[in-house]
Amino acid sequence: MEVTVLVQAVYKAFEILEKGKNSEKARDEARELLYTSAKFTSETKSLTEKREAKALLLSAKKSRLALRNFFLTFFILFAFWILLSGRFDYFHLTLGGICSVLVAYLCHDLLFFNIRLGDFRTRARRFFLAGPWFMGQIFSANLHVAYLALSPKMPIDPQIIRFNTKLESDISWVALANSITLTPGTITIDIREGEFFVHALDRKVAYDLNTGEMEDKIAHVIMEADHVYIQDVLDVASIFGALK
């Protein structure tokens, strides 16, 4: 590209000199053209080099992040294996290590994915802060299901509801599906390209689900790209303040 621009600039400079009959004005115009083209090509080359360097650094950063995510996923899975198995003999520890390595290799990008604002610590903090809300939903849903089961009239109105989620990533879909199923009165039946099929025990349960509050909570915790909340702004306010 640089050579083509320079060659065309030289031809154009000669045309200017011929048309201007080599006058002072024509020489200044041709000189300015050559100077501008040379500057343009040098800056373009510099910009290209910067982009290539940036791409190289980003690629290296992604590789480091992938390696870090793999080891973090492995340690989390292995810790759960030890906790749930309760066995510390050589056979079970080796089997757990092999299984954890395989699952971590295949799924390390599910647990640690695209972070839009902040970092993993922000997401972990939001997860623990949202815990009491989810526990409250489970507790209140238990009371409602108990009322339906113990009421003499048995006011049960089972139905299947469909809704398209605003969530985008696979892990957020899994989180929402599990949250719905863990809440008594609702069970996630199927997910098809972001469309959820949920069995609800009665209209109240279906209405509570359709409000989208649980979906928004998960979007906030997982930090989905298209969901911006007041808390998001507060989380990064200190960063913007430091840049002023």
Kindly state whether residues 129 and 153 are assigned to the same domain. yes
Kindly state whether residues 125 and 238 are assigned to the same domain. yes
Report residue 230's pLDDT band, with 50, 70 and 90 as the boundaries.
very low
pTM for the full model? 0.54
Number of domains in the chain: 2
Kindly state whether residues 69 and 169 are assigned to the same domain. no
Average pLDDT over residues 14-26: 73
Model confidence pLDDT, tens digit, residues 91-104: 888 999 999 999 88
pLDDT higher than 60, residue 156? yes
Kindly state whether residues 100 and 155 are assigned to the same domain. no
Q: How far apart are CA 161 and CA 167, in angstroms?
A: 17
Kindly state whether residues 93 and 148 are assigned to the same domain. no
CB 174 within 8 A of CB 165: no
Kindly state whether residues 96 and 172 are assigned to the same domain. no
Kindly state whether residues 210 and 169 are assigned to the same domain. yes
Q: Last residue of some domain: 74, 94, 112?
A: 112
Q: Which structural domain, as residue segments, surrounds residue 151?
A: 120-243
CB 200 within 8 A of CB 161: yes
Kindly state whether residues 161 and 216 are assigned to the same domain. yes
Kindly state whether residues 160 and 218 are assigned to the same domain. yes
Q: CA end-to-end span of the chain, whole Å? A: 40
Q: Last residue of some domain: 63, 79, 112?
A: 112
Kindly state whether residues 61 and 132 are assigned to the same domain. no
Q: Last residue of some domain: 112, 136, 169?
A: 112
Kindly state whether residues 27 and 100 are assigned to the same domain. yes
Kindly state whether residues 108 and 178 are assigned to the same domain. no
**Between 213-222 and 120-150, two packed helices, what is the crossing angle to 10 degrees?**
160
> Helix or strand or coil: residue 224?
coil
Q: How far apart are CA 19 and CA 104, in angstroms?
A: 71
The dihedrals phi and psi of 49, each to the nearest 5 degrees, come to -65, -40
pLDDT higher than 50, residue 240? no
Report residue 60's pLDDT band, with 50, 70 and 90 as the boundaries.
low
What percentage of the chain reaches a pLDDT higher than 70? 69
